[in-house]
Amino acid sequence: NTNDTQPSELAATAASVLAERTGAERHDIAIVLGSGWRPAADVIGDPEAEVQLGELPGFETPSAVGHGSTARSVLVGGKRALVLLGRTHLYEGRGVARVVHGVRTAAAAGVKTVLLTNAAGGLREGYRVGQPVIISDHLNMTATSPITGANFVDLVDLYSHRLRAVAKEVDPSLDEGVYAGLPGPHFETPAEIRMLRTLGADLVGMSTVLEAIAARAAGVEVFGLSLVTNLAAGMTGEPLSHEEVIEAGRAAAERMGGLLRELVVRA
């Protein structure tokens, strides 16, 4: 029963199965693709190997539309990237350990860097749908943590200054913003969006924050990139839908894949 296994042990087991199936002893960097980011995967590079996530211990086939269900091993500019097409969200109800298992497996596979991507609602008036925004910091509004015990991990500069500078070298037009991570699966009320804006959030979504914390706790450098797929509740008068989130990802896929590829090369 994988629920009774220590998270680090389960991640190590998953990493060894991954190594076996991909033929890659270690990976250098991991990319987690968020909702709607699936089309960006093919631009990152051609996979040397592809594994069904369901075949790796501790993983389940992601349930949300717009997510893939495989892990790819891709050689990019001499670096070996582990691309996770799809992630588990807190709203799937499988618990926090499942949400961060991908990041822990990547750490066990040797990665020093993780690029976390997501689809987010924009809270700033100037944001446009289809705009990528570098995550500068986060508000963890999930009321939980992936780590337990007297484990007082420092989260200053959680989103690496170095990698943020590299991303701005690649694309100087990129904005930076604070990402608020909520449990979902519902979108927010307009009052909640006003609250989040008051608290300093620029972006809102249902992922990333717990993975970023788990990555830091595992000693992995974190980079976060949101794609603004819609403006948040109360900003446009339009209802929010998961379909528009997926469509915005599809439209931006090429640019996002190219950006991720360049980040892997320069990270």
Return the number of the residue (100 or 123) whose C-beta is nearest ligand 6GU: 123
* Per rule CB under 6 A, count of chain residues that contact ligand 6GU: 16
- Catalytic choice (12, 30, 119, 267): 119
**Minimum distance from CB of 114 to ligand 6GU (Å)?**
20
Footprint (CB under 6 A) of ligand 6GU, residues 193-252: 204-206, 229-230, 232-233, 240, 245
Contacts of 133 (CB under 8 A, 6+ apart): 120, 122, 127, 174, 175, 176, 177, 202, 203, 225, 226, 227, 228
The reply on whether position 36 binds ligand 6GU by CB under 6 A is no
Does 92 qualify as catalytic in the annotation?
yes
**Minimum distance from CB of 125 to ligand 6GU (Å)?**
15
Residue 115, sorted as left (phi over 0), alpha (psi -120 to 50) or beta, turns out to be beta
Does 206 qualify as catalytic in the annotation?
yes
Residues 70, 28, 210, 118, CA torsion sign: negative
The reply on whether position 182 binds ligand 6GU by CB under 6 A is yes
Nearest to 159 by CA among 131, 179, 181, 183: 179
Binding site residues, ligand 6GU, CB under 6 A: 119-121, 182, 184, 187-188, 204-206, 229-230, 232-233, 240, 245
Catalytic residues: 35, 67, 89, 91-92, 119, 206-207, 230, 242
